[in-house]
Amino acid sequence: MSKKRILLVEDEENERLLYKEELEKEGFEVACCQNGNEAIEFIEKSIYDLVILDIQMPHMDGIETLGKLLTKKRNLPIIIYTAYPQYKDQFLTWAADAYLIKSSDLTPLKDKVKTILTGKNG
């Protein structure tokens, strides 16, 4: 079976590399981009099974990106991965399949990715 493909949208390089490495260890293929504009170009050119989306990013923030991704690929699973809980007040974030707060422990992120992509947890 081919690897499930994840698009990681994160402007901080260190975080991007860390998440990519950790998710690849779990057997996923991970493509990376740095902001919302790039994310839209990526999903127009290729097919992904899941998007992991930061919110505070330059050029186009994660919430605007979420809306645009949603109207282009309506059933594409999206995980919001942010340091800030307050964006839950913005109704568009309710369209994400999960809203996770960033932490040094990546287990919750990995578990959620596995649940969405393989139907299994842990």
Partner 1 sequence: MGNRNITTFILAGGKGERLYPLTKDRTKPAVPFGGIYRIIDFPLSNAINSGLRKIYIFTQYKSLSLHSHIREGWNIFSRELGEFIDLIPAQQRIGEEWYQGTADSVFQNINILEDEKPELILILSGDQVYKMDYRRIINAHLEKKADLTISVFEVPLKEAHRFGVLRIENDRVVEFKEKPSEPITDPSNPEVALISMGIYVFNLDILIKRVIEDAKRIDSSHDFGKDIIPSMIGRDNVYAFRFIDENKKETNTGAI
Contact set with partner 1 (CB under 8 A)? 67-68, 70-72, 74-75, 89-92, 94-95
Residue 81 or 87 having the CB closest to partner 1? 87
SS3 51: strand
Residue 75 or 121 having the CB closest to partner 1? 75
- Shortest Å distance, C-beta 75 to partner 1: 5
The residues, any chain, with a CB within 8 Å of residue 53's CB and separated by 6 or more, are 9, 39, 62, 65, 66, 69, 78, 79, 80, 81, 96
Residue 26 or 115 having the CB closest to partner 1? 115
Residue 23 or 43 having the CB closest to partner 1? 43
Please state the φ and ψ torsions of residue 33, each to the nearest 5 degrees: -145, 170
- Shortest Å distance, C-beta 99 to partner 1: 13
d(Cα 38, Cα 78) in Å, to the nearest integer?
A: 16
CA of 102: how far to CAs of 2, 5, 75, 114, in Å?
Answer: 28, 21, 24, 17
- Shortest Å distance, C-beta 69 to partner 1: 10
- Shortest Å distance, C-beta 112 to partner 1: 17
Q: Cβ distance 47 to 3 under 8 Å?
A: no
